[in-house]
Amino acid sequence: MANLERFRELTEDFSEVADFVLVYIAEAHPTDGWVIEGNIEVANHKSLQDRFAAAQRMIDLEPQSCPVLIDPLTDESSKAYAGLPERLYIILDGVIVYKGARGPTGYRLEEVEQWLKKFKGN
């Protein structure tokens, strides 16, 4: 949640350069799992409706200017992109050109911004 406002700003700043999408995956710190104090209270998703509801709650708290997709309960996107707890990618013409380290410590929007600035200049 801490990065969502900045992510939205980045999508707005570079909307003419790139298409953005946010994929909502399994909850990293559910109330019935590995809890972190002060985190937004979301339980493990037991159904796809639970995941949709959690994603909607996230959007309500920090509206996004890009599409928000929902990973199925089989966590296919998360597994394919090692997304848990959070990760940034840039894909150009079907090729991964930027793969950020795993969040939260490896979640570096400034690296994505630098890449986009350089790409925009070309």
Q: What is the pTM of this model?
A: 0.83
CATH number at residue 33: 3.40.30.10
Give the three-state DSSP class for 61: helix
> pLDDT at position 79, please?
94
> pLDDT at position 36, please?
61
Host domain of residue 106: 4-121
> pLDDT at position 39, please?
61
Among candidates 43, 69, 72, 39, which has minimal Cα distance to 56? 69
How many domains would you assign to the chain? Answer: 1
Which residues in the chain come in under a pLDDT of 50? none
Write the pLDDT tens digit of every residue in 29-57. Answer: 666 666 566 566 676 778 999 999 989 98
